[in-house]
C-alpha cells in the first residue's frame, strides 16, 4: 500500500510539474515577414488635350514591364487627359486626372478599376485635381479651383471640400496632425504662379488653421525624416530661379536650403535628390544634398549620356532607398543612393511624372 501511495504521489507531482511548465512557457514569437517592394507603377501624363495618359506596371522579380497596363486590365479603357499624380493607400491605387477632372480608383494588386470619381465644378469651373495625399482613411486632392477635396476610402466618393485662403493648389503632404498645401496662385488670379503661401490644414477639424508665407510659386512639398517640410518654389522661370526651402512647422518660417537651383526633388534618409533645368542659363543640374550639413555632390555625372534628356521628376522609395529619375521621353532610371544605376524601364509613354511602389 505504501509503495502504491508513493507511486501515486510521484505521478501526481510529475503531472502538476508538467502543467505548470506548459502554462508558464510562452509560445515562440513569430515575427511577420517584413514588407518588400514587389513591383512599381509608372504614370505618364501624356500630351494635354489628347487623352493619352498611360500606366505601366513593372514586376521586379521578372524585370518585365507591362505598358498600357490600365487598358489591358480594363477592357481597353483609357485613363483620360493629363494624369498628374497617383498614390497607393491601403489596397487601392488612386490616380488624379487633371483635365478629365476625375480621380480613378484601382485595385492596387490587379489594376482593375473600382471607381471613377468625377469631381464636378465649382463656380462654373472644373475643380481640376492636381496632387494626392492620404491619412486617417481619407484621400486628399489638391485642386486649382476648390481648395482641397477629400475622398472617403470606404465609399469611394467625393465627400467635400476644405476651403483654402488661396488658389491653384499644387503639392500637398501630411506631417503630424496637419496637411500642408502649396498654393501656386492667389484667389482671383486667372492662372497660378504668383502665390506665396502654404496652407496649414488640421486633420482633426478639416479646416485651414493658418498659412505660412513662402517665396513665389510654391509647387512641390514633402515631409522629411527630421520633422521638417521641404518645398520647391519655382519663381517666374525668367528672372528668379526655382529654389529649395526648409520649413519648421513649429516656427512657420521658410529658409533656403541651398543656393543651387532646385525645381524637382525627393527627400529620403536625410538627403534631397534634386533636379533643375534653368530657363535663364539653360543649364541642367542634379544634386544629392545632405540636409544636415548642406554638402552637395553631383548625383548623375552626365544624365544625357544615359538617355535622360529632359528630366520630368524625381521619386524615392522610402522602403528601399532607391531613387528614380523620370524623363519626359518616358524613360525611368533607378539608382542606388550612391548614384549607381540599377535598372531602367523604357517606352512608358510621354511625360512620365511619378512612380509608386507596390509592397507586400
Say what the pLDDT of residue 235 is.
95
Report pLDDT for 34. 78
| Domains of the chain, each with CATH number or no CATH | 170-299 (2.130.10.10)
Which 3-state string (H, E, C) describes the chain?
Answer: CHHHHHHHHHHHHHHHHHHHHHHHCCCCCCCCCCCCEEEEEEEECCCCCCCCCEEEEEECCCCEEECCHHHHHCCCCCCCCCEEEEEEECCEEEEEECCCCEEEEEECCCCCEEEEEECCEECCEECCEEEEEEECCEEEEEECCCCEEEEECCCCEEEEEECCCCEEEEEEEEECCEEEEEEEECCCCCCCCCCCEEEEEECCCCEEEEEEECCCCEEEEEECCCCCEEEEECCCCCCCCCEEEEEECCCCEEEECCCCCCCEEEEECCEEEEEEECCCCCCEECEEEECCCCCEEECCCCHHHHCCCCEEEEEECCCCCCEEEEECCCCEEEECCCCCEEEEECCCCCCEEEEEEEEC
Task: Provide the pLDDT for residue 23.
Answer: 56
Low-confidence ranges of the chain (pLDDT < 70): 1-24
- Is the pTM of the predicted complex or chain greater than 0.85? yes
Q: What is the pLDDT of residue 33?
A: 75
pLDDT of the residue at 9: 44
pLDDT of amino acid 285: 95
Amino acid at each position: 500500500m505504501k509503495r502504491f501511495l508513493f507511486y501515486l504521489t510521484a505521478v501526481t507531482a510529475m503531472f502538476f510539474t508538467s502543467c505548470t511548465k506548459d502554462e508558464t512557457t510562452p509560445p515562440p514569437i513569430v515575427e511577420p515577414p517584413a514588407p518588400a517592394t514587389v513591383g512599381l507603377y509608372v504614370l505618364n501624363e501624356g500630351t494635354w488635350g489628347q487623352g493619352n495618359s498611360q500606366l505601366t506596371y513593372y514586376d521586379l522579380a521578372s524585370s518585365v514591364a507591362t505598358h498600357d497596363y490600365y487598358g489591358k486590365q480594363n477592357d481597353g479603357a483609357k485613363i483620360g487627359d493629363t494624369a498628374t499624380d497617383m498614390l497607393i493607400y491601403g489596397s487601392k491605387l488612386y490616380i488624379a486626372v487633371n483635365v478629365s477632372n476625375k480621380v480613378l480608383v484601382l485595385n492596387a494588386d490587379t489594376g482593375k478599376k473600382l471607381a471613377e470619381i468625377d469631381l464636378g465644378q465649382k463656380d462654373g469651373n472644373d475643380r481640376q485635381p492636381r496632387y494626392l495625399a492620404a491619412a486617417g482613411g481619407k484621400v486628399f486632392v489638391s485642386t486649382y479651383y476648390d481648395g482641397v477635396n477629400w475622398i472617403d476610402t470606404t465609399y469611394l466618393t467625393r465627400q467635400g471640400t476644405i476651403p483654402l485662403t488661396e488658389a491653384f493648389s499644387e503639392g500637398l503632404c501630411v506631417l503630424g496632425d496637419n496637411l500642408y498645401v502649396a498654393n501656386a496662385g492667389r484667389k482671383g488670379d486667372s492662372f497660378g504662379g504668383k502665390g506665396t503661401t502654404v496652407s496649414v490644414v488640421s486633420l482633426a477639424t478639416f479646416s485651414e488653421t493658418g498659412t505660412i508665407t513662402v517665396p513665389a510659386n510654391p509647387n512641390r512639398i514633402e515631409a522629411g525624416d527630421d520633422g521638417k517640410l521641404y518645398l520647391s518654389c519655382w519663381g517666374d522661370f525668367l528672372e528668379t530661379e526655382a529654389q529649395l526651402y526648409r520649413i519648421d512647422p513649429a516656427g512657420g518660417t521658410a529658409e533656403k536650403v541651398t543656393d543651387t537651383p532646385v525645381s524637382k526633388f525627393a527627400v529620403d534618409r536625410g538627403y534631397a535628390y534634386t533636379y533643375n533645368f534653368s530657363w535663364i542659363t539653360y543649364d541642367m543640374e542634379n544634386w544629392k544634398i545632405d540636409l544636415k550639413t548642406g554638402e552637395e555632390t553631383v548625383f548623375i555625372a552626365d544624365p544625357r549620356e544615359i538617355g535622360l534628356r529632359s528630366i520630368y521628376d524625381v521619386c524615392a522609395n522610402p522602403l528601399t532607398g532607391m531613387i528614380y529619375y523620370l524623363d519626359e521621353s518616358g524613360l525611368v532610371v533607378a539608382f542606388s543612393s550612391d548614384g549607381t544605376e540599377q535598372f531602367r524601364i523604357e517606352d512608358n509613354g510621354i511625360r512620365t511624372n511619378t512612380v509608386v511602389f507596390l509592397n507586400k
